[in-house]
């Protein structure tokens, strides 16, 4: 029987030398597929950005206890390509909470298809989401206590 990636002992996954461990919590894990590639055969940066935006939205919505919308993406850095067969692991870390906004550091790592034991940092960026009400208007982010 094969263990799912969620059952892997985190101590068995090693961050590649020179790469920092992820700062945030796991938000998304998905597989890079052939349909996600650019003409060069690498996974298209837009696909990667969309996965990171999903991770930011999921994490911000959890923190805001409701709907959010991404309003800014800053400082995207693409360090290494993502390849078909890589397992993309996206981590989210809330770095700032404003009155209506949440700023998150989103980091993307891959488990390369060879052994799935070495985590390699491929991309990072800062995403800002705004909490919105049912009419799409900004609303206050609830306090941690509330």
CB atoms inside a 10 Å sphere around CB 79: 12
Report whether 15 contacts 21 (CB < 8 A).
yes
The 10s digit of each residue's pLDDT in 35-67 is 999 888 889 999 999 999 999 999 999 999 999
pLDDT of residue 12: 59
Q: Would you say residue 11 has pLDDT above 60? A: no
Q: Which domains does the chain have, with CATH numbers?
A: 16-131 (3.10.129.10)
Strands 101-111 and 14-15 come out as unpaired
Of 116 and 72, more confident: 72
Average pLDDT over residues 76-90: 94
Average pLDDT over residues 62-75: 97
Q: Would you say residue 85 has pLDDT above 80? A: yes
pLDDT of residue 56: 99
Q: Would you say residue 5 has pLDDT above 90? A: no
pLDDT of residue 19: 83
With 0-12 / 13-18 / 19 or more C-beta atoms within 10 angstroms meaning exposed / middle / buried, residue 46 is: exposed
The 10s digit of each residue's pLDDT in 99-131 is 999 999 999 999 986 667 789 999 999 999 999
Report whether 71 contacts 79 (CB < 8 A).
no
pLDDT of residue 3: 41
- Residues of the chain with pLDDT > 90, as a percent, come to 73
pLDDT of residue 113: 64
Give the confidence band of 9 by pLDDT, cuts at 50, 70, 90.
low
């Amino acid at each position: 029987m094969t263990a799912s990636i969620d059952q892997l002992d985190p101590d068995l996954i090693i961050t590649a030398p020179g790469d920092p461990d992820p700062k945030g919590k796991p938000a998304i894990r998905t597989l890079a597929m052939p349909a996600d590639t650019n003409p060069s055969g690498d996974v298209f940066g837009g696909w990667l950005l969309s996965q990171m935006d999903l991770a930011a939205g999921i994490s911000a919505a959890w923190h805001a206890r409701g709907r959010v919308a991404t309003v800014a993406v800053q400082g995207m850095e693409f360090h290494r390509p993502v390849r078909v067969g890589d397992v993309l692991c996206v981590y989210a870390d809330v770095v700032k909470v404003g009155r209506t906004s949440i700023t998150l550091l989103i980091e993307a790592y891959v488990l390369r298809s060879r052994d799935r034991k070495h985590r390699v940092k491929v991309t990072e960026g800062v995403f800002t989401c705004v909490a919105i009400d049912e009419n799409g208007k900004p609303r206050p982010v609830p306090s941690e206590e509330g």
